[in-house]
């Protein structure tokens, strides 16, 4: 009797060992099917966003542009602490900017931010702000003389869009301005989905992300796989008295 019991226990142990790879594979599939927050895996897409890198007076990965070529002085400075600053100094009215083309994925929400301050910027035209060139996608703008403030906005890329020409800008189209604008800490990340009703949203409806077909399907697959894992574990690894009949 004792021998028979020992043999039965050995057989059950061997059976459990054979089932473990299958259960591990199912658990992996279940984990892959569960929705994952983009915010947990956000990656900085701006190159040299802290403006610490550059040479010959020019920051790496950035270029300057302006409507009037003789109205603005563009300057880059970098301190020993590893933080640099872009300066736009327009003595005459101008639409002037520092620009970088940022690689992005189609159909994705991005949060765009920077730190900006101003000196003697005119109050009657667009001041200092962040902008996606050739669009009306802008952050709020700062005018007059204002200390460092963070500005930003959310934008959803189009179905074929793979690049955002991001600008730290003073003045705008048909809204030329003068003064000095400073920018640093420029950032673009895929940081999940903005809240509905949040200001400065461009390119899409935040609520549509939750109502799209992909997310409910993923949730349904995850639930079905999880149920299957539980049933398999109960069927093959539980004690004989608790197992589901074949």
Q: Which two tokens stand for residue 175?
A: 């809204």
pLDDT higher for 81 or 84? 84
- Centre a 10 Å sphere on the Cβ of residue 187 and count the other Cβ atoms it contains: 22
Distance of CA 125 to the CA centre of its chain: 30
Residue that wins the pLDDT comparison between 176 and 36: 176
> For residue 81, what pLDDT is reported?
83
Instruction: Give CA–CA dist 98/47, Å, rounded.
Output: 13
At residue 41, the pLDDT reads 52
Q: pLDDT, tens digit, for every residue of 119-162?
A: 999 999 999 999 999 999 999 999 999 999 999 999 999 999 99
Q: Which pTM was predicted? A: 0.69
pLDDT, average across residues 44-58: 96
**Does pLDDT of 97 surpass 90?**
yes
> In this model, does residue 37 exceed pLDDT 90?
no
pLDDT tens profile 175-209: 999 999 999 999 999 999 999 888 999 998 887 65
What average pLDDT does this structure show over 79-87?
91
Look at residue 207 in the predicted model and tell me its pLDDT: 78
- 226-242: average pLDDT: 55
Beta strands in the chain (DSSP E): 54-55, 58-59, 63-66, 72-78, 84-94, 96-103, 109-121, 128-132, 144-156, 163-170, 177-189, 201-202
| Residue 28 confidence (pLDDT) | 41
Per-residue confidence (pLDDT) for residue 235, from 0 to 100:
59
- Of residues 78 and 239, more confidently modeled: 78
134-144 pLDDT per residue, tens: 999 999 999 99
CATH superfamily assigned to domain 40-204: Galactose-binding domain-like (2.60.120.260)
Residue range 49-62: average pLDDT? 96
Whether pLDDT at 216 is above 50: no
């Amino acid at each position: 009797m004792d021998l028979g019991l020992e043999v039965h226990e050995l057989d059950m142990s061997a059976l459990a060992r054979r089932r473990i790879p299958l259960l591990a594979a199912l658990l992996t599939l279940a984990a892959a099917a569960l929705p994952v927050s983009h915010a947990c895996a956000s990656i900085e897409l701006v190159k040299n966003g802290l403006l610490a890198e550059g040479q010959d007076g020019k920051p790496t990965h950035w270029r300057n542009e302006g409507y009037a070529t003789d109205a603005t002085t563009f300057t880059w400075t970098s301190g020993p602490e590893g933080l640099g600053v872009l300066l736009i100094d327009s003595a005459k009215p101008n639409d002037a900017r520092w620009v970088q083309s940022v690689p992005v994925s189609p159909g994705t929400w991005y949060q765009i931010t920077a730190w900006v301050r101003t000196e003697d910027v005119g109050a009657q035209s667009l001041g200092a702000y962040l902008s996606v060139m050739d669009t009306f996608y802008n952050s709020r703008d700062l005018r007059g003389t204002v200390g460092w403030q963070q500005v930003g906005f959310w934008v959803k890329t189009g179905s074929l869009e793979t690049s955002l020409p991001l600008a730290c800008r003073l003045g705008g189209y048909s809204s030329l301005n003068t003064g000095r604008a400073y920018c640093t800490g420029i950032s673009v990340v895929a940081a999940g989905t903005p809240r509905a009703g949040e200001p400065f949203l461009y390119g899409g409806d935040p609520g549509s992300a939750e109502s799209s077909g992909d997310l409910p399907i993923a949730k349904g697959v995850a639930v079905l796989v999880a149920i299957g894992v539980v049933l398999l574990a109960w069927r093959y690894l539980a004690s004989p008295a608790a197992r589901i009949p074949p």
